[in-house]
């Protein structure tokens, strides 16, 4: 008997980033119960300019051809920005062919304000589509802006269990860490300003950076920081897989002042919590629901450096309070993972059942 068939349209690594990692993990989970067709709609890794757009269009057209040739549900990893235009076409085609549509949202850009392409995506997917949201705030915003939709909440916490048996007490001076694509958009400048501000308060903290430089602007920021911080600036470069452990072993607090317009539920926040690192971050997207009492949340229009400086000074002066918040971080990840796993399992069963129903109706 043929296995139920599911088409997955979205980015797959490489390159490695949050949405691509989640799409890969969803595909791997569904492959245990169904025949999964992986249809990458991402541009060729490393392409730029016309080659970038040409490679993306070619993959979208190939995905459309594959959707037209098969049956069963279509899982669509929704893009941010203009990439939503391609998703509108995929959703419309799947609906036209009476293939059930599941849309997995990974961006808050069109949830912070109304977006025409996002509206078209919801309309194209139709009233029977299932919209997978990362947190309750995402589901509420989607319905408030784009009208009633069927939603399921599946947090990325499902993919990241807590590490070990909890953080081990340490008396070393607190080190601040920042992991991701190093850019002003992700808050690199604010992380380094924080280090300077702490130095002015008498705390010569080390700064641990991990990730690739995004652009010449990031290199300019880093060049100035190297002169100012000297050996206190620890640069690990890009880290993936087991190499990430070097970062989490070297840092004590994740500082994540992201301004990224698409920021939704960043995996790096969960990774930090899983290792017992408290998080100081702007409260964008789902980040407030991620962090809870395991760190400090800063309103996007507030003075991040001032608030983060006061927090780290307090933790440095009261190490028992800092150890408590570290323990809170690890416990919170345990709880979030335990909550998210059943939700992800229910989603997988739902889409597999949809695939089985489609296969049955075709016989």
CATH label of the domain that carries residue 306: 3.40.50.2000
Question: Are 34 and 128 in a shared domain?
Answer: yes
Distances (CA, A) of 107 to 5, 207, 237, 338: 27, 29, 26, 24
pLDDT at 179: 97
- 100 belongs to a structural domain: yes
- 192 belongs to a structural domain: yes
- 348 belongs to a structural domain: no
pLDDT at 53: 77
pLDDT at 46: 66
Question: Are 55 and 193 in a shared domain?
Answer: no
- 354 belongs to a structural domain: no
Residue 77 exposed, middle or buried by CB count within 10 Å (0-12, 13-18, 19+): buried
Question: Are 123 and 199 in a shared domain?
Answer: no
pLDDT tens for each residue of 94-105: 999 999 999 999
Q: Which residues contact 103 (CB under 8 A, 6 or more apart)?
A: 76, 78, 87, 91, 121, 125, 129, 130, 131, 132
Question: Are 130 and 184 in a shared domain?
Answer: no
Total number of domains constituting the chain: 2
Inter-axis angle of helices 116-125 and 84-96, nearest 10? 20
Largest CA distance in the chain: 74
pLDDT at 241: 80
Question: Are 138 and 201 in a shared domain?
Answer: no
pLDDT at 362: 60
Residue 154 exposed, middle or buried by CB count within 10 Å (0-12, 13-18, 19+): buried
- 342 belongs to a structural domain: no
Question: Are 136 and 230 in a shared domain?
Answer: no
- 244 belongs to a structural domain: yes
pLDDT at 1: 52
Question: Are 187 and 137 in a shared domain?
Answer: no
- 188 belongs to a structural domain: yes
- 353 belongs to a structural domain: no
pLDDT tens for each residue of 240-276: 888 899 999 999 999 999 999 999 999 999 999 999 9
Q: Which range of residues forms the domain containing residue 243?
A: 176-336
Kindly calculate the radius of gyration of the chain based on its CA atoms and give it in whole angstroms: 22
Question: Are 38 and 148 in a shared domain?
Answer: yes
Question: Are 190 and 113 in a shared domain?
Answer: no
Distance from CA of residue 30 to its chain's centroid? 20
Question: Are 281 and 210 in a shared domain?
Answer: yes
Both structure tokens of 102: 């599941």
**Percentage of residues of the chain with pLDDT beyond 70:** 98
Tens digit of pLDDT per residue, the chain (363 long)?
567 899 999 999 887 788 999 999 999 999 999 999 999 988 776 667 778 778 888 999 999 999 999 899 999 999 988 889 999 999 999 999 999 999 999 999 999 999 999 999 999 999 999 999 999 999 999 999 999 999 999 999 999 998 888 888 888 899 999 999 999 999 999 999 999 999 999 999 999 999 998 799 999 999 999 999 999 999 999 998 888 999 999 999 999 999 999 999 999 999 999 999 999 999 999 999 999 999 999 999 999 999 999 999 999 999 999 999 999 999 999 999 999 999 999 999 999 999 998 877 765
Question: Are 281 and 317 in a shared domain?
Answer: yes
150 neighbors 325 (Cβ within 8 angstroms): no
Question: Are 136 and 197 in a shared domain?
Answer: no
């Amino acid at each position: 008997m043929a296995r139920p068939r599911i088409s997955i349209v979205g980015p797959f690594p490489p390159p490695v980033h949050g949405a691509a990692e989640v799409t890969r993990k969803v595909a791997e989970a569904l492959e245990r119960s169904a025949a999964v067709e992986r249809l990458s709609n991402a541009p060729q890794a490393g392409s730029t300019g016309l080659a970038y757009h040409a490679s993306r269009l070619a993959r979208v057209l190939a995905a459309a051809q594959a959707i037209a040739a098969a049956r069963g549900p279509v899982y669509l990893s929704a893009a941010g920005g203009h990439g939503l235009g391609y998703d509108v076409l995929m959703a419309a085609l799947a609906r036209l062919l009476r293939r059930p549509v599941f849309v997995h949202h990974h961006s808050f850009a069109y949830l912070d304000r109304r977006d025409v392409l996002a509206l078209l995506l919801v309309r194209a997917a139709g009233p029977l589509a299932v919209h997978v949201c990362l947190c309750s705030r995402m589901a509420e915003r989607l319905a408030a802006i784009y009208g009633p939709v069927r939603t399921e909440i599946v947090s990325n916490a499902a993919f990241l269990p807590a590490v070990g048996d909890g953080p081990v007490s340490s008396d070393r001076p607190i080190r601040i860490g920042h992991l991701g694509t190093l850019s002003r958009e992700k808050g690199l400048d604010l992380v380094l300003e924080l280090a300077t501000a702490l130095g002015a308060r008498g705390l010569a903290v080390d700064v641990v950076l991990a990730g690739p430089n995004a652009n010449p602007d990031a290199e300019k920021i880093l060049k100035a920081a190297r002169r100012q911080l000297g050996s206190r600036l620890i640069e690990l470069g890009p880290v993936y897989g087991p190499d990430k452990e070097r970062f989490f072993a070297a840092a004590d607090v994740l500082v994540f002042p992201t301004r990224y317009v698409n920021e939704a539920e960043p995996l790096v926040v969960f990774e930090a919590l899983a290792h017992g690192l408290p998080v100081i971050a702007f409260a964008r997207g789902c980040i407030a629901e991620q962090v809870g009492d395991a760190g400090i949340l800063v309103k996007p229009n507030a003075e991040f450096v001032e608030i983060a400086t006061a927090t780290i000074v307090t933790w440095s002066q009261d190490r028992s309070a800092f150890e408590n918040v570290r323990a809170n971080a690890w416990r919170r990840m345990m709880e979030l993972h335990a909550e998210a796993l059943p939700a992800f399992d229910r989603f997988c069963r739902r889409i597999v059942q949809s695939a089985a129903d489609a296969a049955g109706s075709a016989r």
